[in-house]
Amino acid sequence: MDGVTVTRLAELVAGGGVAVLSGAGLSTESGIPDYRGPTGRARRAEPMTYQRFVGSAAARQRYWARSHVGWRQMGQARPNAGHRAVAELERRGLVAGIVTQNVDGLHQAAGARRVIELHGGLDRVVCLSCRQRTPRAELERRLLAANPGWAASGLINPDGDAVLTDEQVEGFRVVDCAACGGLLKPDVIFFGENVPHPRVDECFAVVAGARLLLVLGSSLTVKSGLRFVTRAAELGIPIAIVNQGPTGGDAEACLTLDAPLGPALTDLTGLLTVRPAGSPAAQ
């Protein structure tokens, strides 16, 4: 661990007004693999697109079978030291808002409150007809009841999608909305589906109002996250990045730290003193 860089990061964060942008790398220490970091692995199944999901019963069967298996790991994941550190920084009045690209809900589970889930959350399911949202746990109970004796296992991707063969998927029964019979979809953004404009605008507002943008565990290789770094740079807002490996935003950053997120953020919180309520950073 580069103690000098962590100390410099603490000096930046100490001023408060920090907007956090987090990615899959923050959750790897909770047992959820990332896409491009040290625990990342090549996706062995083509990602589901919104168009295929709504247009094909076979595609929905394949998705829900894989997601049913993947949820066993995603649903049992617990916040790690990195999530807890971010929540602690928010509690101390230093973090003004969190924009996460993750769909695992671990920021909230760690106690963070001002969290915007850019891509939604896997812990919820939405009906595409009546738009009712229900807990994922409720759907899992219904899927288990509809598929007695069905069992499969496979490599888990960061979005909770397990890699299964056609033979493993065969025979899996999908259930529809209990309220209206409509198609159920996880409350996340699929490939080919746009993030709602109000949500994107809310994320941009968090960045624009920040004194520092702190990127945690994101490779920033896709526009989804990189656009917030670009906006911060345009506004002259300092950018600090903690990630394992290089990122697409390194050229814009005033500080980069290549280190495991949990230990680095734990060291960071240890260097910062608790701000009294009502201090400028807590506003």
The residues annotated with a catalytic role in the active site are 119
Q: Which amino acid is at 206?
A: V
Is 155 within 8 Å of 162 (Cβ atoms)? yes
Sort residue 131 into left (φ over 0), alpha (ψ -120 to 50) or beta.
left
Residue 100 token pair: 């996460």
Q: Which residue has the tokens 């094909």?
A: 56
Binding-site residues for Zn(2+) sit at 127, 130, 177, 180
Closest CA to 22 of 216, 240, 257: 216
> Tokens representing 185?
């979809």
Q: How far lies 86's CA from each of 30, 44, 263, in Å?
A: 15, 32, 12
Distance of alpha carbon 70 from alpha carbon 87, whole angstroms: 26
**Cα dist from 48 to 68, 149, 185, whole Å:** 14, 26, 11
Annotated binding site: 23-43, 101-104, 127, 130, 177, 180, 217-219, 243-245, 261
Report residue 51: phi and psi, to 5°: -65, -45
Q: Write a three-state SS string for 5-35.
A: HHHHHHHHHCCCCEEEEECHHHCHHHCCCCC
Q: Which residues are part of a known binding site for NAD(+)?
A: 23-43, 101-104, 217-219, 243-245, 261
Both ends of the chain: CA-CA distance in Å?
32
CA distances to 113, 169, 187, 264 from 192, in Å: 29, 23, 14, 35
